[in-house]
Amino acid sequence: MGKAMNRAQILVEALPYIREFSGKTVVIKYGGKAMVDKNLKRRIAEDIVLMRYVGIKPVIIHGGGKAITSMMKKLNKEPKFIKGNRVTDKGTMEIVEMVLVGKINKEIVSLLNQFGGKAIGLEGKDGQLITARKCKDKSLGLVGEIEQINSALIDLLEREGFISVIAPIGVSSKGESLNINADTAAAEIAAALKAEKLIFLTDVEGILKDPSDEKSLIPGLAIKQTENMLEKGEIQKGMIAKVKACQIALRKGVNKVHIISGKRSHSLLLEIFTDKGIGTQVIK
């Protein structure tokens, strides 16, 4: 009984956090190892469904780069990248959409439903959720920049208790599919939903002073500081897109952005249900 009492104690310690976030929207960019490891996938799904049951409104945006590359190889297409952006010809775009929408998105939906959630999978074409135009760099092909998020559809589904799971595919004014950066999509969706928080699940602990040293985690940054770090080149590789997405979200009204490791079990709960949180918090 001592153990049970201990558990009860821990539940009530979560009350202040539940109270604080009750009725608020939290957008989660889901990607990296947390989307591949079978055990981590289940932990994340549990966390998200628990969030929904305690009154928080989670919205998921996922990536899927590795699975796309793997499918391209099976179909004998060579993946190409320019500055981290996938060069997306028509054939590649078809593979991107099939893999993101027909495989990864629905796996996440199904897993959330297994834990008792009511999830629904969407991409940009559904109800014109994400309208986009081709990006300026024509050599990238069908890579898109977001024009508008149709937040009314997500609001409707939220009100009815659904968790929206969104693949980062935009639709052009001609109805074409466009490949959208998932970090940017998460930022724009968080902004359109006036989300309380945007959380990036990544493969590192957060923003590091020294990228080679996980212990050099910076727990908090203001938007201005991230600009300086970008200028000085202190942020590198995949983190650049994330930090830029942070800036977009914060400038457009999101309250707080968090870059955390998705490699820990229950990292979402650790972030939301503790005072200290985990990873790096970026604020305005």
Residue 142 Cβ vs its own copies, minimum distance, rounded to whole Å:
13
Asked if 53 interacts with its own copies (CB under 8 A), we say yes
What is the size of the binding site for its own copies (CB under 8 A)? 72
Residue pair 262/255 in contact (Cβ under 8 Å)? The answer is no
Exactly one of 26, 27, 34, 49 binds its own copies (CB under 8 A); that residue is: 49
Residue 141 Cβ vs its own copies, minimum distance, rounded to whole Å:
18
Range 128-147, binding its own copies (CB under 8 A): 128
Residue 234 Cβ vs its own copies, minimum distance, rounded to whole Å:
26
Backbone angles phi, psi at 129, to 5 degrees: -60, -45
Exactly one of 70, 81, 98, 228 binds its own copies (CB under 8 A); that residue is: 98
Exactly one of 70, 73, 89, 102 binds its own copies (CB under 8 A); that residue is: 102
Asked if 222 interacts with its own copies (CB under 8 A), we say no
Region near its own copies per CB under 8 A, out of 11-19, 221-229, 230-238, 245-253 = 11-19
Both tokens of 33, joined, read 């190892």
Residue 28 Cβ vs its own copies, minimum distance, rounded to whole Å:
15
Q: Quote the crossing angle between the two packed helices 223-231 and 238-251, to the nearest 10°.
A: 150
Query: Exposed e or buried b for every residue in 188-225, given b needs 16+ CB within 10 A?
Result: bbbbbbebbbbbbbbebbbbbeeeeeeeebbeebebee
Q: What is the Cα–Cα distance from 196 to 281, expressed in whole angstroms?
A: 13
Closest CA to 279 of 263, 259, 250: 259
Exactly one of 70, 81, 84, 127 binds its own copies (CB under 8 A); that residue is: 127
Residue with tokens 């009530």: 12
Range 147-186, binding its own copies (CB under 8 A): 153, 156, 160, 162, 169, 171, 174-177
Polymer length of the chain: 284
Nearer to its own copies by C-beta: 69 or 225? 69
Residue 143 Cβ vs its own copies, minimum distance, rounded to whole Å:
18
Q: What is the Cα–Cα distance from 95 to 115, expressed in whole angstroms?
A: 29
